[in-house]
Amino acid sequence: MPKHIVRLITLIVVFAALAAVAKWYFTADTFYEFGHYRGASVPEIAGLAPVFQTPQYCQACHTERHAQWSAGSHKSVICEVCHGAAQGHPQNGKLPIPKDTPKLCSLCHEAMPGRPRTQPQVAVAQHSGGQQCIVCHNPHSPKIAATATKVAGDAKAGQQRAAACASCHGERGISPNDSWPNLAGQNATYLARILAAYKSGDQKDVVMTPIAQPLSAEDIQNLAVYYATLSCVAPPSQSRVGDPVAGKAVAANCTACHGEAGIGPNPAWPKLAGQKPAYLVNVLKAFRAGLRKDPMMAGVTRGLSDTDIANLAAYYASQSCRP
Amino acid sequence: MKETNPALAARRKFLSKLGRAVTYAGAVVGAGALSTAQNTAAKSEPSAGGASFPTKDYDWTKHRWGYGVDATKCIGCLRCVEACKRENDVPGTAHHFRTWVERYVYLEGETKPRIDSQHDPVNIEASGSEKEYRFANRYKDAKVDKAFFVPKLCNHCTHPACVQCCPTGATYKTKDGVVLIDHKYCIGCAYCVQACPYGARYFNHEKQVSDKCTWCYHRITKGLQPACVEICPVGARIFGDLEDNKSPISQFVRNNRVRVLKPESGNAPNVFYVGLDKDVI
């Protein structure tokens, strides 16, 4: 073979070897390990630290909250939806507790075309009147648990027992006095609940406590049914406590439970329409002062002025007790 | 040829020297490469001892991941979008997303849907920030015939167009069925962003690389759910192992009539949908 050809071949071989070595050297070590990519990049990506930690992580310390949340209707909404990712907590400090609840809750619960019918939705502005959602709803278990237990009593037996109540609440459940509530036509579930609360001491009243204590559970049911069946129509109250028109604006905050005109959707809560205004004023002030204990009513009444209360009472008193 | 030509003799001497130098250099480099290769082989081959890849508790040959979306459950709260961005360090601007939610609204008397997503200016204005997302209640007073939300994300296709077009081997399909991006090898050409028929990839201007959903590979290899699935308050997103007959995704695919997006593209997606409408592509 001519010498110059040998040289040429040698050169080509040398350059090919160089190229092969260069490729060997410069290609990442794991490049073809599994395919046309760097095998080492897989454990690199798999090794990143998770940011969201799951409710099990929160449960370790917040056991009680976790138990309450996991038993409630928000159990599909994990802690980190509202409180943010838990990575670095508790070492790096607290997680935020949302302050602007109408903004937060409306993300899921603002009535909006496109949301499935099964999703609980409200027109937030009308529903709460600008209040924080947590005034009424416990965010960890938001369904308002007014269990409307069925009241099964005998109205006739109730009527006999009610003779003792007539001096204050009237012969037919319409109170002769502005300070005591009408009972006629009131929700039986509510009446039974309140009487039971007086009996057990959960609710106290100088007059009612001694009257309710000797009542049997059966008496309570009978009384509740009896009063619920009476006609609520009463002569209009003579006392004027406030301005019903101004009261209507304040009452926007109460509609979710007590209805727009004082008759709510759930019989566990009392009807307010046509009730004695002076009685309503007293009760609202008692809730505000903490004398009557109810977590929801305490929250709702906290921000009310005396004028608000008077106007509210006037508004509900002026409504018709028949829907 | 006579050996007396001094110029020729000098050239021959130079060439022979060069040849020797190259051979030595080659030998040295070769030896170096060989030792490095052996080192890595020693590192990435504990498989002889039965250990698994890519982590010691997770074997990618034993899984085949799949994803389901039940669009009939989605409420458009966009918690998935925010969680994904937080989990995966996605830039906090209005136009960078690994997952997103589309809203389709058919108004009375209109034949085509109005479609918007969280980065629509109206929705950004409603949220008040480019880092938080919310759908504006813009159709509140309109006469709506039909409306629904559709969550979208990378389909982790069986035949991914994005992988085929990558010039550097920076994006690939893992053995457990996830399409990943090696950010160290990505040169930022963004061919893959163009190639994806679903628009699932975006260009990360902070890192100068392409980026997209990984089904939270760092979570699923630890036995966790992807962040969007974990955070979804209504169970509209379903994830699991298609190899496992009892996994949520296997049940979802078995119990529903599912479909995929753009089956005609030939990519063979692995995100299965329930409750899509004719105009959703």
Domain ranges of chain B: 52-96+153-276
Residue B80 pLDDT level (bands cut at 50, 70, 90): very high
Verify whether the Cβ–Cβ distance A47 to B29 is below 8 Å: no
Verify whether the Cβ–Cβ distance B184 to A50 is below 8 Å: no
CA atoms within 13 A on the CB side of B209: 15
Chain B CB contacts of A122 below 8 Å:
none
Is residue B2 over pLDDT 80? no
How many helices and strands (H and E) does chain B possess?
8, 12
- Region B52-96+153-276: CATH code: 3.30.70.20
pLDDT tens for A145-181 read 666 677 888 889 999 889 889 989 998 999 888 889 9
Query: Looking at the complex, does the CB of residue A117 fall below 8 Å from at least one CB of chain B?
Result: no
Chain A CB contacts of B148 below 8 Å:
114
Is residue B260 over pLDDT 90? yes
Residue B217 is nearest to which of A24, A45, A52, comparing CB atoms?
A: A45
Q: How far is CA B175 from CA A38, A39, A284, B64, B155, in A?
A: 14, 11, 67, 8, 16
Query: Looking at the complex, does the CB of residue A6 fall below 8 Å from at least one CB of chain B?
Result: no
Chain B CB contacts of A21 below 8 Å:
26, 29-30, 33
Token digits for A5? Answer: 């050809």
Q: Residues with Cβ < 8 Å from A119, sequence gap 6 or more?
A: A108, A109, B75, B234
pLDDT tens for B140-152 read 999 999 999 999 9
Report how far residue A257's alpha carbon sits from residue A146's, in angstroms, rounded to the nearest whole number: 10
Q: How far is CA B121 from CA B91, B96, B117, B168, B269, in A?
A: 18, 14, 9, 36, 30
A residues 34-73 near B, CB within 8 Å? 34-52, 54
Report how far residue B122's alpha carbon sits from residue B126's, in angstroms, rounded to the nearest whole number: 6
Whole-number pLDDT of residue B4: 57
Closest CA to B174 of B193, B153, B160, B191: B160
Structural contact between residues B227 and A52, judged by C-beta atoms closer than 8 angstroms: yes
- Counting one residue from chain A and one from chain B, the pairs whose CB atoms sit within 8 A come to 153
The mean per-residue pLDDT over the stretch B189-210 comes to 96
Whole-number pLDDT of residue B30: 54
- B163 min Cα distance to partner chain A (Å): 10
Chain B CB contacts of A73 below 8 Å:
none
Q: Residues with Cβ < 8 Å from A190, sequence gap 6 or more?
A: A267, A268, A269, A270, A271
- Ranges A147-156, A244-253, A313-322: which has the least confidence: A147-156
Q: How far is CA A189 from CA A151, A195, B18, B199, B222, in A?
A: 6, 10, 104, 57, 51
In the three-class reduction of DSSP (H, G, I as helix; E, B as strand; rest coil), residue A174 is classed as: coil
Verify whether the Cβ–Cβ distance B78 to A107 is below 8 Å: yes
Residue B79 is nearest to which of A42, A51, A81, comparing CB atoms?
A: A81
Verify whether the Cβ–Cβ distance B40 to A31 is below 8 Å: no
Q: What one-letter code names the amino acid at B231?
A: I
- B77 min Cα distance to partner chain A (Å): 5
Verify whether the Cβ–Cβ distance A51 to B235 is below 8 Å: no
Residue A46 is nearest to which of B74, B171, B217, comparing CB atoms?
A: B217
Please give the helix or strand (H or E) that residue A166 lies within, else none. Answer: helix A166-169
Token digits for A293? Answer: 């204990």
**Most confidently modeled range among A173-182, A213-222, B74-83:** B74-83
Token digits for A23? Answer: 């490729």
Residue A76 is nearest to which of B58, B86, B234, comparing CB atoms?
A: B234
Whole-number pLDDT of residue B25: 61
Closest CA to A280 of A251, A256, A303: A251
Chain A CB contacts of B17 below 8 Å:
none
Report how far residue A1's alpha carbon sits from residue A320's, in angstroms, rounded to the nearest whole number: 120
Residue A113 is nearest to which of B29, B144, B227, comparing CB atoms?
A: B144
Whole-number pLDDT of residue A21: 96
Supply the pTM of this predicted model: 0.76
∠ CA(B257), CA(B262), CA(B264), 5° rounding? Answer: 105
Verify whether the Cβ–Cβ distance A30 to B72 is below 8 Å: no
Q: Which residues pair with B115 in a beta bridge?
A: B104
Q: Which residues pair with B59 in a beta bridge?
A: B54
Chain B CB contacts of A119 below 8 Å:
75, 234
Q: Which residues pair with B105 in a beta bridge?
A: B114, B147
Closest CA to B182 of A33, A25, A19, A22: A33
In the three-class reduction of DSSP (H, G, I as helix; E, B as strand; rest coil), residue B101 is classed as: strand
Whole-number pLDDT of residue B28: 57
